[in-house]
């Protein structure tokens, strides 16, 4: 995960300002409502089975800085995600990178936007403390190769199990498969990914999360990382986060530092 350089600062400043406005200006009005608090999907790799409050647009953004393997350049980006639930069982998620700066390790760099992911999400509650989720999506090749774009469309399927446990613990377990696009005549590539995140409230408005995750493509070294982060529930409408991730092998960025916000932008229906 990466932190923005100059190419991403205007977008980041605007979205963080919107998050602060939501936390401190909109929160008093929301207190009188019975709208559920925002439901952050960031900063972990895994996502929860649950959907945000129906009819309300949630926005997630922040800064992400990744140091590549030895001899490789770093990557800086501004992730941006929009979430909208139609009801407690169905919703959509749209994600991209508003700005990317990719360093080549030799003093040069490329700037631009990231690929775009469109996801249809279904949640099946299992009582009050657990739920199953299924995400079906597609990644669109909207990023240039110089900024990390793959140049082809991918199909995505993610299965999720989320549960609350005794002692205030919460778990999100993800297992996913991606059918990666390929040039005409080339073999289709499949990528398997997994993530297991465990979170716990700390002192009322604060929380902590730890996660292990990885991915594997046949014929290549599997990636693996460990992540740790803290969060602050500034209001029912805004949650801020800060943390880092460390790669566990040479196929994974050795260090990623991130910060961001999840906020409710408004009611659409």
Q: What integer pLDDT is reported at residue 31 of this predicted model?
A: 46
On the question of pLDDT at 30 being above 50, the answer is no
Q: Over 193-250, what HEC string results? A: EEEEEEEEEECCCEEEEEEEEEEEECCCCCEEEEEEEEEEEEECCEEEEEEEEEECCC
Q: Which residue has the higher pLDDT, 241 or 180?
A: 241
Q: What integer pLDDT is reported at residue 6 of this predicted model?
A: 35
Q: pLDDT of 36-81, one tens digit each?
A: 999 999 999 999 999 999 999 999 999 999 986 655 678 899 999 9
Q: pTM for the whole thing?
A: 0.85
Q: How many Å apart are CA 24 and CA 7, to the nearest integer?
A: 28
Please state the rounded mean pLDDT for residues 193-197.
Answer: 98
Assess contact for 49 and 172: CB atoms under 8 A. yes
Assess contact for 81 and 93: CB atoms under 8 A. yes
Dihedral (CA of 243, 228, 215, 92) sign: negative
Which residue ranges make up each domain of the chain?
6-267
Q: How many Å apart are CA 115 and CA 134, to the nearest integer?
A: 21
On the question of pLDDT at 12 being above 70, the answer is no
Just give the CATH number of 6-267.
Answer: 2.40.160.40
Position 230 confidence tier, pLDDT thresholds 50, 70, 90? very high
Structural tokens at position 159: 């299965």
């Amino acid at each position: 995960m990466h932190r923005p350089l100059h190419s991403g600062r205007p977008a980041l400043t605007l979205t963080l300002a919107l998050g602060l406005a939501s936390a401190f200006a909109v929160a008093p009005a929301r207190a009188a409502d019975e709208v559920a608090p925002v439901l952050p999907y960031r900063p972990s790799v895994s996502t929860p089975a649950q959907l945000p409050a129906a009819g309300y647009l949630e926005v997630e953004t922040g800064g992400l800085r990744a140091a590549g393997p030895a001899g490789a350049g770093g990557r800086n980006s501004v992730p941006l995600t929009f979430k909208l639930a139609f009801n407690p069982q169905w919703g959509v998620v749209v994600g991209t990178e508003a700005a990317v700066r990719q360093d080549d390790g030799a003093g040069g760099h490329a700037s631009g936007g990231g690929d775009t992911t469109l996801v249809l999400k279904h949640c099946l509650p299992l009582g009050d403390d657990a739920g199953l989720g299924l995400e079906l999506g597609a990644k669109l090749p909207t990023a240039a190769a110089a900024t990390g774009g793959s140049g082809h469309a991918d199909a995505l399927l993610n299965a999720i199990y989320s549960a609350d446990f005794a002692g205030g613990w919460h778990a999100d377990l993800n297992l996913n498969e991606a059918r990666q696009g390929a040039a005409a005549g080339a073999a289709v590539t499949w990528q398997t990914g997994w993530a297991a995140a465990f979170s716990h409230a700390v002192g009322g408005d604060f929380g902590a999360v730890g996660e292990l995750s990885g991915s594997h493509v046949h014929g290549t070294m599997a990636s693996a990382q460990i992540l740790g982060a803290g969060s602050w529930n500034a209001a029912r409408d805004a949650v801020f986060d800060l943390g880092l991730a460390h790669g566990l092998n040479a196929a994974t960025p050795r260090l990623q530092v991130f910060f961001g916000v999840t906020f409710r932008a408004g009611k659409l229906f």
